[in-house]
Amino acid sequence: MNIIKRLLVLLFALAMIFTVVACNTTDKQPGTTQTETTETPSKSDVDYPELTEYLNEDSVAIHYHRGDGKYANWCLWLWDPQGDDDSEEDVFNYQDENGVIAYYPISKFGDLTGGKLGIIIKRVGSWTKDGTENDRFIEFSKFTKDEHGVYHVYFFGGDAGIYQTKDKTMADSIESAVFDNEKTISVSCTNTIKSYEVLKDNVAILSSDASGKSFTAVLEAPADLKSTYKVRVTFENSKETLEKAVSLYNLFSLPVFDEEYEYSGELGAIYSEKETTFKVWSPVSDKIVLRIYNNGTPTSVSKTLGDDTYESYEMTKGEKGVFSYTLSGNLHGKYYTYVVYNSSFNGVEIVDPYAKGAGVNGLRGLIVNFKETNPEGWNPTVFLNTDRKSLVVYETHVSDVTSHDTWGGTAANKRKYLGLIEPGTIYQAGNITIKTGFDHIVELGVNAVQLLPIFDQANDEVNYSFNWGYNPLNYNVVEGLYSSNPYDGLVRINELKQVVQAFKDKNILTIMDVVYNHVNGANGSNFDVLMPNYYFRYNKDGSLSNGSGCGNEVASERSMVRKFIVDSCKFWCQEYNLGGFRFDLMGLIDIDTMNMVAQECKKINPDIVIYGEPWQGGTSPLSAGEAATQANGNRFVGYGQFNDQMRDALIKGGLNDKSSKGWITNTDYAFQSDLTVISYGINGATYKSNNTISDPDKNVTYVTCHDNYTLYDRIKACGITNEDTIRKMAMLANSLVLTSNGTAFILSGEEMLRTKQGDNNSYKSPDSINGLNYGMLVKNQDIYQNYIKLIEFKKTIDDLHQKNPDIKVEMIEEGGVIRYTLKDGDDTYLVIHANGLCKGYTVDLSHYTVVLDTLNTNIDDGNNSYVVSAFQTLILQQNSK
């Protein structure tokens, strides 16, 4: 299930922060698991009707019993595991003597083509879960409908089981069957078994009587990776016989596997003008056929533009399980696919995971001579040299910059790469003229633009529909939705390079948002077809683990998965001259892989900026010590992480309950814990009592990003209604961000007080919600000018770029005023931030010149007793003696 879709829909939970994250997350964080300590029946705290009237269609009644009788704060999250996740909290609506019931038609959840319904029992407005941290699935084939067409399913507080009756009867089921090593299979069942068989390629190779609910089968010969293995179990009471495939997952982690199959050479379509060599890694496959197309568009997409004619060539399997084929001639501009044959997939056509270009909708890979795609003046070997501590990162989406009517640019460029860099666009209101789009970003003064995913996504590239893009399809391919011609795979490559070049010419880095933690759909993906059970992580029962909240998670710790991620980052860095990467749900990537990404990319661009979300979107099998999470931040080498602690101290963002308030929004008192976090944050450090990340090169300071609310909407959501107060609070929040050490990060549009009309999960909301309304600059020009000054200050002041900062932060007025001194060469600056607790604090200005007053109060520089106002930031330059 999609976290961008699930975790971000609700912004109520406690943030780790993550753990983003979820979604898609991303400010996404796993909850904690609720367990019960009593089964003594208690009086229910809800009053729902009894279920006496039934629907005229198949339905499900989910029964939930808690020993404490407290149901009011519990709900369900239900979804179709194979469908689009448009889930929301589902309430309990009936009750009986056992507890509460959620009664719904099955049609509510879509077709349920897989015969399963995903379920999480959770606290209302939170991701605290009951019973288990893992997603659970109701398999309807294990239940019998009653006379009313109702499937009755039973759950109990603190219990991970899924039961057929209130007496905790479970259906016969093989819960897990997995190789522990080359010869040993472990099997676990729900009920007592009588006997079992082990089948290899559907032929029995071992049989035995058994007792109990689990057993271990020992094979005579080591497992053959090219074969399929199953266990066939007969249950004691029912005499029912069931089969389950045995997972090979653990075998891929054995040293012997890497010794035999780890490949260090180049993969993909290796182009030259004389010939192209195709290489693909698939040790388990028996046969792979290369198909060459002249056209990148299948007729299923367009009967008029498409062509399904191809030539085929059977590839040769060589060492390390690599299939290859060399085809003579200049193949630039032709398209290709692989047809794969193995024990799990027989003749399935896929796109090469290493494809570096693709046709429409990413359905056919593209062979590219990249020299032919370079814009005029392109020099991929020259990078901008920037100290990451001087960066102000502006996060935006390609579409957002140009989709609103106030952009005013060329209609054909709207929502496109070329629109993102179109110069000369303006918005006029009366006698006021506002720069928009590219010129607005340049005028603002930021020195880095972070683009939401621009790699190829699982979407319709012809018929526009907004989406953030956290649904990876082809990792090394540019997304075609923003191209002027999605049918020609070469056009998108050239246009993205134009984007990078245009920003580079203005001394602005392009940072790419990458999503290597999950794919749009694991089952049947190109990775899965080539190497079933290898590229993803799995639970003990053989189901895909879901640490991303998006239905799967990539097994980055596997040698060939690590190679793919590193190779992919190197390709983007070198071919597209990128300035950096932002890793979505970086906590799902292992530290060794992340360290290698940074190490290898720095060989190409020594100043590359890499950072990510140091959290996960759910429970992951990846061990805590291996994960690139905040807890391990001091082991990061060459990359950083989002300082969500600072964010939460200031505004309680992320997955916090929307009513929560931080230092910016709380006008009643200041928490000492928040003041401590802020003091460290100003010094470019992420503070946690047991693990402080003090290196400012590892810290990204921010209050908002694309996930969750905009700053205006977040402040309003916590109960602040006065518009003037909201404006001041919003300005104060990013004033602190932009006067702190470390990398500064702002969401596009905050400089104009952007609102998404309260939408806290706009991943697929319309342009009317997501687009930048430049008209907001007209009425918020004072805020905009403050941002321009603050950004310039952040970029130029020495003390905000120190490797080992020692900024002495004072907390006065009972925490209502924060003040500190910054040095810049021979100049000294006094910075003062005041929140709603500030009542009558005065400062002597007689020795200072006012550089910035965010409230624009026309201060007299000579005032020796200036009264600081609530929600004001002052930057004062000390006069020379």
Task: List active site positions.
Answer: 584, 613
252, 178 contact by CB (below 8 A): no
For the chain, the residue count is 881
333, 293 contact by CB (below 8 A): no
H or E, element range at 492: helix 489-505
Q: Is 833 exposed, middle or buried (0-12, 13-18, 19+ CB in 10 A)?
A: buried
3-state secondary structure of 504: helix
- Render the burial of 688-712: b for 16+ CB within 10 Å, e for the rest: eeeeebbbbbbbbbbbbbbbbbbbb
- Cα–Cα distance list, 277 to 230, 273, 662, 746, 832 (Å): 37, 11, 58, 44, 62
H or E, element range at 600: helix 591-604
185, 231 contact by CB (below 8 A): yes
- Render the burial of 306-332: b for 16+ CB within 10 Å, e for the rest: beeebeeeebebeeebbbbbebeeebb
Q: Which two tokens stand for residue 1?
A: 């299930």
Order the strands of the 810-812 sheet from edge to edge.
810-812, 817-824, 827-834, 873-878, 848-853
- Render the burial of 134-168: b for 16+ CB within 10 Å, e for the rest: bbbbbebebbeeeeeebbbbbbbbbbeebbbeeee
3-state secondary structure of 230: strand
The alpha carbon of residue 815 and the mean position of all alpha carbons in its chain are separated, in whole angstroms, by 35
The DSSP-derived string for 618-642 is: S--SS-TTTB-SGGGGGG--S-EEE
**Which amino acid is residue 18, in one-letter code?**
F
460, 361 contact by CB (below 8 A): yes
Distance CA 794, CA 784 (A): 15
The alpha carbon of residue 747 and the mean position of all alpha carbons in its chain are separated, in whole angstroms, by 16
Q: Which two tokens stand for residue 127?
A: 């991701």
The 8-class DSSP code of residue 247 comes to B
The alpha carbon of residue 823 and the mean position of all alpha carbons in its chain are separated, in whole angstroms, by 38
Strand 193-200, strand 203-209: pairing: antiparallel
Closest CA to 660 of 14, 72, 9: 14
Distance CA 474, CA 366 (A): 11
Q: Which two tokens stand for residue 622?
A: 């990846």
129, 34 contact by CB (below 8 A): yes
Beta-strand runs (E) in 180-228: 184-189, 193-200, 203-209, 214-218
H or E, element range at 281: strand 275-281
Distance CA 461, CA 480 (A): 6
Closest CA to 753 of 708, 791, 714: 714
- What ranges in 610-762 are assigned the alpha helix state H? 644-651, 672-682, 711-717, 723-737
H or E, element range at 593: helix 591-604
Distance CA 853, CA 819 (A): 14
667, 628 contact by CB (below 8 A): no
Residues 6+ apart with CB under 8 A from 458: 362, 471, 472, 473, 520, 521
Using H for helix, E for strand and C for coil, what is the string for 244-293? EECECHHHHHCHHHHHHHCCCCCCEEEECCCEEEEEEECCCCCEEEEEEE
Q: Which two tokens stand for residue 59?
A: 């339905």
